[in-house]
Structure 1
Amino acid sequence: MCIAVFLWQAHPFYPFFLLHNRDEYLSRPTEPVAWWDNGEILGGRDGLAGGTWLACSRSGKIAFVTNVREVGNVPGPKSRGELPVRFLESKKNPTEFAEEVVMEAHRYNGFNLILVDLSSKSMIYVTNRPKDDEALVSEVLPGIHVLSTASLDTPWPKAVRLRTNFEQFLEKHGSGELPAEEMADKLMTDMTKADKTTLPGIHSVEFEYSLSSIFVEANTELHEKRICSISKDEWEVAFYEKYLAEESWIEQRENFVMSGRVPAEQFLALALLVCTVFASRFCHQLS
C-alpha cells in the first residue's frame, strides 16, 4: 500500500526530500499533475472525491496523506484526500491546521497526514489512529522518517527496508546532490516481499504478503504507475510526473517560481519530492 520516506532538515543541500508511493484502483478516476483552478496548488487530483494524495503551493506549503491499514470503516466518512487541499488553501500554519483537523478526526477513516511549511521550517504529523499512547498531533523532528499505512516510523518490514536503502544512498553521496530519479527507480520500485512471519497480522497472511513490498505488484490487468517529483532550487520548483497508460510511458513537467515567503537565506538548494503512484486491486481509498 502507500509508503513514503523523507529527509527533513537534516541535510546541508536538502531541507526536505521525499520519496512517496501511492496505490489506487485503475477504475478510480485520477487526474495527472497540473495546476488547479486558482493556479496556486500543483498536484494530482482524485477524480472521484476531488482531493489529492500529495500537492504543494506556490508559497512553499506541502501536504501528503496515507491511509491506515485497519479492519472496518467509519459510516459515511469524509474524504481523506480533502485534508491536504484544505491545508494548502488555508492561511493557517501546520500546527493551527492540525488542531482544526483533530476536532473532526472521528469523521474520517484512518489517516496519516504530513503538513509542511518551508517558510517557517515547520513539519507536523497528524493521525486519527495513534499507536499506544501517542498523541494525535506531533512535531516531526529533523532526520529520516518513514510513513506507510501505520503510524509514523512504525518498523514494518517494508518501512525498515526502505529506510535502510535510503540511508545507503545518503552515505554514498554524502552532503552533495542526490540522484533523485535514480533513487526513485531503485528504491520505490522494489518488489521484494517480506518474510510472512514478520507481517503485522491485521488481515490475512496472504493478503498482507501481497502488500509487503515497497512497490506492490498486483497480478491483474488493472495496473498503472506514476512517478512525480517536486524540486525546489532556492526559488524554483519543478514537478516531474511519469506514468504508464495503455502500455506506454507518459512524462510531463511543471515549473514555477515560489512566492516571496521563503527567505533567500534559507537557500532551498534542491528540496526534492518524488512520488510514485500505481493502481492495482490493492487500493488507497481517498474517501
Structure 2
Amino acid sequence: MCLIVVGWQMHPDYPLVVAANRDEFYARPTADAAPWPDAPEVFGGIDREAGGTWLGIRRDGRFAAVTNVREPDMAKGERSRGMLTRDFLLGDMTAPGYAQRLDGQLYSGFNLLLSDGMQFVYCSNRDGVPRLLAPGIYGLSNHLLDSPWPKLLMARRRFAEDLAALPDDDALFSLLADDEIVPDAELPQTGVPLEWERLLSAVFVKSDSYGTRASTVAWQRRDGVIRLHERRFGPQGQALQSSLISTAV
C-alpha cells in the first residue's frame, strides 16, 4: 500500500473513512477484496505470496492498513509486514495495546494504522513510540505520517473536500485516480533512481511492471454499517474487475 488518506471522526455520519491505493508489482499473486475464507467477518484483499494484507476492515469496524517505508538499501525483515494487519484484524486487543506490544525489529520499515472502533493509532518502526490520534484527516505514503510529499498534501486537501459527498464515493475514486507526475524540483529524495521518483510521485502509479493494483474506499457509518469498495488495475492502469462489500445492521 503506497497511499492512504483517513478521516477519523471528521464526518457526522461516517466516523471512519478511508481512501487508499495499493502499489505493487503486477506479477505478485493477490486475492481480490472479499470476506476472508477463514474469517468471513473480515473484508479485504490477501497477499498470496506472504499471506497477509495491506488493508482490511472487520464487520465490527476494526480496521488496519500498512505501508512500507521506502529505504532501498535496508535488509529485509524476518516477517512480512502484511502480517501486522492480519494479526490485528483477527485479534481482539485494543489498538494501543497491540501497537505497544509489536516487535518492530522483526519487520522491514513499516507504517501501521489501527482502529479498534474507539481509538485510532499510528505506529512505525521508523518513528518512535505509537501515537494515539485525535480526530482529523491523516495521510500516509512511504515515509512517515503526514510527510509533506506533494501527492500526500494534494490527497489530504481533496479528501477533506470530498467527504461531504458520502455515501457517493466517485469523488474519492477520482482523487485516487490522479496520475499527474510531480515536477522534478518538488520530488522527494528517497534513495531510488530519478525515473522511479518520478513514477512514484503520482497518486495513481502506472507502468508496465509496477503500479497501482487496487484503489479502495472503505467506511464505517455511525449506525455500524460497513462498506468496502475496491477497483483493480493491471499494467499501465488498465481497469479490471471491482468488488463491493457492504453490511447491514
**Is 1:240 paired with 2:233?**
no
Taking a change above 3 Å as real, the CA distance of residues 242 and 205 of structure 1, as seen in their structure-2 partners, is closer
CA distance in 1, matches of 2:125, 2:77: 16
- Answer whether contact 1:117 1:123 (CA < 8 A) is retained: yes
Measured in 1, the distance between the counterparts of 2:44 and 2:78 equals 23
Report the residue type matching 2:244 in the other structure.
Answer: R
Q: Which has the higher contact order (CA 8 A, sep 6+)?
A: 1
Aligned residues: 244
Matches of 1:212 and 1:179, distance apart in 2:
29
Give the structure-1-normalised TM-score: 0.78
Contact 2:204 2:211 in 1 (8 A): no
Larger radius of gyration: 1
Q: Which runs of no fewer than 5 residues in structure 1 stay unpaired?
A: 259-287
> What corresponds to 1:13 in structure 2?
13
Deviation at residue 7 of structure 1 after TM alignment: 1.0
| 1:124 and 2:136 are equivalent in the alignment | no
The alpha carbon displacement at 1:148 in A equals 0.7
Distance 1:145 1:224, change over 3 A: closer
Q: 1:75 to 1:255 in 2, by over 3 A?
A: closer
- 1:39-188 matched pairs, under 5 angstroms: 39-101=40-102, 104-118=103-117, 120=118, 122-130=119-127, 135-170=128-163, 173=164, 177-178=165-166, 180-188=168-176
1:154-174 per-position Cα deviation (integer Å, ceiling 9, x unaligned): 10111111122223335xx4x
Structure 1 residues 55, 211: CA separation in 2 closer, same or farther (over 3 Å shift)? same
Counterparts of 2:39 and 2:161, CA distance in 1: 40
| Contact persistence 1:129–1:136 (CA under 8 A) | no
- Counterpart-to-counterpart distance in 1, 2:153 and 2:224: 33
Root mean square deviation, CA, Å: 2.2
Distance 1:35 1:55, change over 3 A: same
Tell me: CA distance 1:72–1:223, structure 2 relative to 1, closer, same or farther (3 Å).
Answer: closer
Q: Are the counterparts in 1 of residues 26 and 234 from structure 2 also a CA contact under 8 Å?
A: no
How far the C-alpha of 1:22 sits from its partner, in A, is 0.7
Q: In the alignment, is the contact (CA less than 8 A) between 1:3 and 1:147 conserved in 2?
A: yes
Spell out, residue by residue over 1:250-285, the C-alpha distance to the aligned partner (whole angstroms, 9 max, x if none). Answer: 233323346xxxxxxxxxxxxxxxxxxxxxxxxxxx
Q: TM-score, normalised by structure 2?
A: 0.89
- 2:4–2:20 contact (8 Å) kept in structure 1: yes
Give the structure 1 partner of residue 181 of structure 2. Answer: 193
Structure 2, unaligned runs of 5 or more:
none
SS in 1 for 2:185: helix
Output the amino acid matched with 2:126: R
